[in-house]
Every structure is written in C-alpha cells, then in structure tokens.
Amino acid sequence: MAPVKVTKICCIGAGYVGGPTCAVIALKCPHITVNIVDLNQSRIDAWNSPDFALPIYEPGLVDVVRQARGRNLFFSTDVDKAILEADLIFVSVNTPTKKTGVGAGFAADLNYVELATRRIANVARSNKIVVEKSTVPCRTAESMRTILEANSKPNCRFDILSNPEFLAEGTAISDLFAPDRVLIGSLQTAEGVSACQSLSDVYANWVPKERILNVGLWSSELSKLAANAMLAQRISSVNALSAICEATGANIDEVSHAIGYDSRIGPKFLKASVGFGGSCFQKDILNLVYLSESLHLPEVAAYWRQVVEMNEYQKRRFSKRVVDTLFNTITGKRIAVLGFAFKADTGDTRESAAITLIKDFQSEKALVNVYDPQVTEDQIWLDLQEASPLVPLENIKKHVTISHSALEACKDAEAVVIATEWKEFKEIDWEAVYAGMNKPAFVFDGRLLVDADKLRKIGFKVTVIGRS
C-alpha cells in the first residue's frame, strides 16, 4: 500500500508541544500547509500577534514563527475547517493528572483527547492519519481508534500513529532542529506501516533517516513514559545523594562530576537541585505508577512512586533548611524567591519547586517577594491560589509580593532563595543586593548557580544544596 503524500497538516492544540513542533515542521517543509488550531481565542490571538508576543516563551521560537507564519503556517480557532482539509492530524491537547474520580492523583485525564478524537470523527469526510502527540497512557490509541471507527462516515478510514515528543523546555527548538530520535509507532498492518511512512517522509525533510525510529504502537506510547521516568529517576537519585553530602561534608558537585565520568553513567541529569518540575516528569511517573497498579504489579508501582516521593522530600528538606538556618523561625521575615518557572528559559510553572517553597514559607508566616523574568503575575497568583485552595487570594497577597526585578525582590529581605537557574541571577550585582538587605544576609542556592565563596567575601551567609 503506497504511503499518502502529506500536503496539509492540522494540529489540534496550540500549547507547549503542538505550537513549537508544528511551527518547526512548517519551517522545514515549506511545501506543506500547517494549520495549528485551538478553541482558546486569546491563545490563538497571541500566536497571531503582530509583535510576536507568543503565548509561550521558548528561545528561538519567535524566529521560527516569524519565518513561516503567513507563508505555510497558520493559527486559527476554525478547528473543523482544518480537520476537513488535512491529510494528517496531530492531537496535541493537554493530558493533566486526574484530580477526581478513579485514578485521581495518578492517572492521566484523557477528556481533551477524547473530545478531539470525537470531533475528528464527526467532521472528517475523507481518510485521515491521526497522530497522538500528547503524552498518553499505553494503549490510548486503541481507545481513539474505537471512537473513530464507531463515529466515522462511510468510506472514511482512520490510521492511528503514536509520535511522542521528547522536547526539553528551554531547548525545544534546537531539540526539534536536531532530535536524538523521532519515534513513530503504528499498528504492524499494511495500512499502519503505510501511514507510518507518510509521517516519516515529513520528518525526513530535515531529520536523518537513521534517527527516525519506526516501532509498534504500544511500544511508542510506553517509550515516552519510560524515558521521562528514567530521567526523573536520575534527578531523584542525585538529590538523595545531596542529602548525604550535606550530612557528611561531601560536595554534591564533586560527586556528580566524578560519577559522570563513568561511561556507563554519563554526566547528564546529575545536577542536584531543589527538585524537578515541569509538565512531564511527575505526571508521566504517576501515570506509570497507575499503569503498574492496573496491571497488578504493586512492587513496580512502589518503585516508581518513590522517585516522586524523593522529589517532594527534596523540596520540603530545602525549605526546612531555610527555616533552621534563619534561627528556627521566619515569622515576619522577608524572603526573596528568585525564579518561579520550573527551570530557566521557559515560562512554564507546572510543578515548579518555587510554588512548594512559597507555600511552605507562607505556612511559617513569612513575607515573600518573588521575581521571575518570564512568568506573568496572573500565572503566579493562579499557581499560588491552586497550591493553597483553602486560603483566599486576598490573604495570599498579604504575604506575597511580586517584584519586577531581582534587586527589587531582595531589598530589605533577610534571605534570598534561588529557585530557578536563570542566567541573570548569576550576574546580579550581589554587592548592591547585600547593601540593601537586612543583616545577617543569607543566600540559599537551590540550583548550584552562584559562586558561594565570592558571595561569602561580600558578607553573605551562603547555604548551597548538596554541601554541608
């Protein structure tokens, strides 16, 4: 069966995955029309903004959109038109962890995936290749296929593919330009293999063919969860070692550097921190926990659950160290939290360590100044409200102030907590910071970012994660 030549692509979902991925496809494939659609009008307006004030921050993304938008890249809320015209449809909607019902706290909420799938089935009038791009539990494609086949029009066939993303926020564009691999899963039928080839041909416009991996549908779905679980496991492992370092006098930087030289281990994802965050790691591990329990594998579920528990322990341990160092009380003391995004070079705050730290400081009745160069004020208030749902927002605002610069956040503070590794925090005028703080002035480096010895010479009392 000959593969379909893809000339029009529809991406349902204009978020962190669908937007950058399909923008790069449009840039690299000028002969393919790419329509990115979303029901959120304000998000689409931002993608179409004349000054390129895009709804997400990602280094290099503006340049990509600037080159392709209006040529073969379009953003719209007209979902049905895009579905009708497309040869291939990416489903790239949000799959958050369920908050209620069966599997609450662990299982992925597939409501948006189902809604998108039903809309495709109801609207499509011709054969379509439907591609899972969202992070989904293993065998979600089977559910999608059941929905599509039950609601399809006569003589309208759907082929389902899994094409998980492996992007790191902050480097997503370079990851897309030169991916380690592109994984495409399909049913091992003639139709499935043909659909797989159609998508492979799209990526082959710029990705070397040896880096395009074609696997079974279920292997592709599980590979995404497995990759994030393994990476998160490394972070939790080195964070567990950081606690031992603090207790023994060892230096976690030196330990990580030493073990990273082992070719069997390698140096990546061995940097200790206050904890991992983001949209994927915790969600995907919890998904893996739920899958393991559903398959009656309690020991496997317990193993992966511990990775998340270690991450939460690291956050609690760090906030407790702040309190202990500040003479066992932070009531009424002003603490500057530098960084609110879960990592540098992104505006994403999902599962950010800063949220947990600020909540802990609030519970101790501290006054918190928070500054982040990319996260909006609305997003900060939304996250803090969600973290403390029983506390009225007005009460949160009595204890938390959003600052517009690092220097402003640090003024009159007792302590500075570095929660995100933004480069600008490394380059702050620390002498000016020290001059404006109450004494003794403390710095707590949760990201191994600053030169501790240099700060001590200025006069700071410096505490670094993973060091005694």
**Is 16 marked within a binding site?**
yes
**Is 121 marked within a binding site?**
no
**Is 227 marked within a binding site?**
yes
3-state helix, strand, coil in the chain (%, to 5): 45, 15, 40
| Amino acid letter, 269 | F
**Is 97 marked within a binding site?**
yes
**Is 412 marked within a binding site?**
no
How far, in Å, CA of 107 to CA of 118, rounded?
A: 21
**Is 362 marked within a binding site?**
no
**Is 228 marked within a binding site?**
yes
Strand spans (E) along 318-446: 334-338, 367-371, 400-402, 415-418, 442-445
How far, in Å, CA of 45 to CA of 53, rounded?
A: 9
Pick from 449, 315, 296: nearest CA to 387:
315
136 in Cβ contact with 110 (< 8 Å): yes
**Is 172 marked within a binding site?**
no
DSSP 8-class letter at 257: H
**Is 350 marked within a binding site?**
yes
**Is 343 marked within a binding site?**
yes
121 in Cβ contact with 147 (< 8 Å): yes
Residue whose structure tokens are 């953003």: 75
25 in Cβ contact with 41 (< 8 Å): no
| Residues acting as catalytic residues | 280
**Is 280 marked within a binding site?**
yes
What residues are paired with 32 via a beta bridge?
none
How far, in Å, CA of 71 to CA of 434, rounded?
A: 51
**Is 460 marked within a binding site?**
no
What residues are paired with 130 via a beta bridge?
89, 160
**Is 342 marked within a binding site?**
yes
**Is 278 marked within a binding site?**
no
Helix axes 217-248, 281-294, angle to 10 degrees: 120
User: Helix, strand, or coil here: 429?
Assistant: coil
**Is 361 marked within a binding site?**
no
**Is 23 marked within a binding site?**
no
219 in Cβ contact with 184 (< 8 Å): no
**Is 133 marked within a binding site?**
no
Give, for 462, the enclosing helix (H) or strand (E): strand 461-464
Pick from 322, 414, 335: nearest CA to 369:
335
Strand spans (E) along 276-366: 334-338
**Is 77 marked within a binding site?**
no
**Is 456 marked within a binding site?**
no
Q: Which residues sit in the known binding site for substrate?
A: 165-169, 224-228, 264, 271-277, 342-343, 447
- Residue ranges for the binding site for NAD(+)? 13-18, 38, 43, 93-97, 134-135, 169, 280-283, 350
Which residue ranges make up the annotated binding site?
13-18, 38, 43, 93-97, 134-135, 165-169, 224-228, 264, 271-277, 280-283, 342-343, 350, 447
